[in-house]
Each structure stands twice: as structure tokens, then as C-alpha cells.
A = this chain, B = another copy of it.
Amino acid sequence: MAYSMKPLGCDPARIKGMSERLIVSHYENNYGGAVKRLNLIEEELAEIDYASAPVFQVNGLKREQLIAMNSMILHELFFDGLGNESEPAAELRDTLARDFGSYERWRSEFIAMGKALGGGSGWVLLTWSPRDRRLVNQWASDHCHTLAGATPILALDMYEHSYHIDFGAKAAGYVETFMQAIRWANAGRLLGEFGKRGAV
């Protein structure tokens, strides 16, 4: 199948503390690049004769497919979560307090995880785990690392393309800026939709 780019989920001219150039470059080059690459990989995969393909070809292409797919999916969530400063709605705030001890504790863990990835690559994902019906802050150092069976509802991109144009090496400043620019309505909507799910 052919994968399509989704429209940019935020208004790049109005994210406080991030330049339009940064966000448009991120959307077009990194997100758009992943979608284009994924389609080329799918074309290659469609041609494989799995009964005879060498193992390194299977491992090589299927790994590249996972990287591109996850980059596509996580970038969409990242952009959907950007907007004007806001607060989590009551249901989400209560769930954060229940699962992390307090909203402040959640926030301090999420921020520390972002800063800890500064200078490297990866994601911090607030994610709903149906096995235990709870929210988890999940570490990732590359696109492939995600919690099994879980649904991320908020994504902080820590690849350096997310901030270097504006912030240079000041990853901590970027993380603080992100925290002020979360469009919480999106995370709340996703929790409402997926958070009813438990393991079956």
C-alpha cells in the first residue's frame, strides 16, 4: 500500500518559542522523508520472494521498514500535540496523578527524560499501556523503541533535528519550551478513545 503524509497537525507560525522554519523543516524533511522512504521500502518488500531471500536482505529491509513506519507515526503524534499553552483536562490530569503519584511528579519525570536524551536521539512518550490500564513515560533512543501494545498519547521528539536550528545544543531550553506548547486537548482525546481499553 502507499502511505500518505498527513497535513501538519499544528500551526507552525504560532508555536511559542519555536520558529516556523524549524517546524516546517521538521515536517517536510524528517516526517516527509520518512513517508517517502517508507513507500520505497514497501516497493522493495513487495518484490521479495521470501522463500529464497537471503536472511540479511529480510532483516535489513524489515528493520528499515520499522524505522520509517515508527518515524512516520511518532512524528504525526508530535505535531498533533503542539499548540498554544494549555493544561490537561480533568480526566487526564487525574489519570496522571493516579499513575505517577502527582501531576508534578509526572511532569518532572517527563522533563528529566527529555533532557537526558539531549545531544543524542530518541523520544519521550507518554503512553497508555492496556496490560496494566495505566500511563507510562517511555524512553526511546531511536524510532524503533516503543512500549509493546501501548498507545502513545503525547510525544516529545528528542532527535536533534527537533531543536538544533533554533536552540543549538541547548536541549534543556527546547524541552522547557515544548512543555509550554503542549496542546493537551490532543492527548486527552487519545486517552478518551484508547484509555478505555484494557488487556483482553
* Chain B residue nearest in CB terms to A21: B168
The 8 Å CB contact of A120, one of B1, B48, B111, B159, is B159
Residue of B nearest to A108 (CB): B50
Which of B26, B53, B115, B159 contacts A55 (CB under 8 A)? B115
**A14 at the binding interface (Cβ < 8 Å):** no
A169 touches B25 (CB 8 A): yes
Which residue of chain B has its CB nearest to the CB of A51?
A: B108
B109 touches A139 (CB 8 A): no
Known: A70-B148, A147-B66, A147-B69. A112 touches B53 (CB 8 A): yes
| Copies of this chain, tallied across the complex | 4
CB pair A117–B1 under 8 Å, yes or no, is: no
Contacting residues of chain A (5-59) with chain B, CB-CB under 8 angstroms: 21, 25-26, 29-30, 33, 37, 40-41, 44, 48, 50-51, 53-59
Q: In the complex, what residue of chain B is closest to A46 when comparing beta carbons?
A: B101
Chain A residues numbered 92-133 whose CB sits less than 8 Å from any CB in chain B: 105, 108-109, 111-113, 115-121, 129, 131-132
A residues 50-84 in Cβ contact with B at 8 Å: 50-51, 53-66, 68-70, 72-74, 76-77
A139 CB contact (under 8 Å) in B66, B76, B147 = B66
Distance in angstroms from A145 CB to nearest chain B CB is: 4
**Known contacts A112-B53, A113-B62, A116-B55, A161 near B165 by CB under 8 Å:** no
**Number of A interface residues, CB 8 Å?**
84
Q: Which A residues contact B (CB, under 8 angstroms)?
A: 1, 3, 21, 25-26, 29-30, 33, 37, 40-41, 44, 48, 50-51, 53-66, 68-70, 72-74, 76-77, 105, 108-109, 111-113, 115-121, 129, 131-132, 134, 136-152, 159-161, 164-165, 168-169, 189-190, 193-194, 197, 200
